[in-house]
Structure 1
Amino acid sequence: MSHFFSTRSWIVRSNTQTQAQMRLFCFPFAGGGASTYQSWQRYLPEKVEICAVQLPGRENRMREKPYQEITPLVEALKQELNPYLDLPFAFFGHSLGALISFELARHLRRDHQIEPQHLFLSACRAPQFFADIAPLHALPQPALIAELRRLEGTPEDVLQNQDLMRMIVPMLRADFSVFENYLYYPEEPLSCPITAFAGQQDQRAPAEMVAWWREQTTSKFTMHTLPGKHFFINEARESLLALVRADL
């Protein structure tokens, strides 16, 4: 049975696969942490090593200041991932994580002339449509909690726990700021294949806007719509991972 451990604060790895031929870096949604991907190793071939990305401000990095803008975050990630790019690699990101993985892929191409073997982008509208996102980061706390409840990604007992919410709301606001302050600059499409996932009832990232990721690659583009709302990554996990496994 695989156990999860951290070799560096940014990267949390399933027990290091000695026979790993590829690494899959997994980036969290707003408010999420590396533990989201804790069980994923057992669904994927042993040759693929799961490397979950732990951003500052959550879980075992709760005391650190979270990033509020994408460029400094991606610059930091580029440095932290560098020692792990000795094997072929792919990126998976859900919601905020999809945006981070896309921008990181563009930065790596620009600065190091390398790209992921594959990009898996989940529950995230294509960047051309970010200007239309309703801003959450500056909402008063009751309205923010109502929105979190509607998104169904935060357990109700957490939403009702005032002490816990006092700890995590600043990190959530910072994560939403990364999303909502993002400015898209067109570049040449990536040359790696992109697989996009959308939730059938997801209003924040509707399937018709997720489908426009096809413009961001000159390679193969595949789109899958799965049952659920914005957090179908939980409800439809096995279906999603079967599709990831097939592509890898």
Structure 2
Amino acid sequence: MAGDSGWIPANLDPARPSSARIYDYALGGGHNLASDRALFEQVLKVQPNARQIVWSNRSFMRRAVLFMMDLGIRQFLDLGSGIPTVGNVHEIAHKVDPACRVVYVDIDEVAIAHSKLMLEHEDNAAIVEADFTRPGEVLGHPETVRLLDFTRPIGLLAVASLHSVPTETDIYRPLERYRDALAVGSALAVSHFTADFEDVHTQELIEIVRAGAHNQVCARTRDEVLDLFGDFELADPGLVTAAAWRPDTAPAPDGGAAERGLWAGVAVKVRR
């Protein structure tokens, strides 16, 4: 077992993997269990570049936060934030402006436990324990109200989280509620697992995770992901693979497999 046992809730079943902890392991974090590592090793047998895909997503999040800060945004709402691991939103933002305020939202018990420990002495960041598909619980939570001013622009992040909502559950109405709550000048960043690329063995990966972990996972098409932005205006280069969104270095000319698996984009609210 990696890390300090203080982050492990007493009622946790160590034999049951968690998507949040698997993601932490893929990023090289220390808050995962043997069951999580074993399941990710199964994933690697099917998709050898899975770790690169995960890192591609994490890098997209960093660039998206910095892009939002270039727009003047200084407060963030991170839906399905997971276990605070390498390069968290508040760490990225506070390097630019320590006054930035961040609200993380998750329902995973380990993500909540570790977030509380990590944010214990952070006055400008907090974790909200809530189901992000219920916007009223998130938007009305005392920590959200304390930290975020919805009369000013907010960076809304749904990075590798919406594909944990099964397709039979309506995710579009909750996203609409969040978008409606934001002031003009706010921005929404989304990355989402997809089956649109032949060299990503999507269905096999979904079956491995569904069989081994308690979390759901699903894939959505590019058009379905586009619909998540509503009438927000996509920033250049639009909805692309995670690695191709404003990369620090030029992406592979063929859009290599390490880039694929996730659609990603950032859109800005330009009108009420």
Give the structure-2-normalised TM-score: 0.37
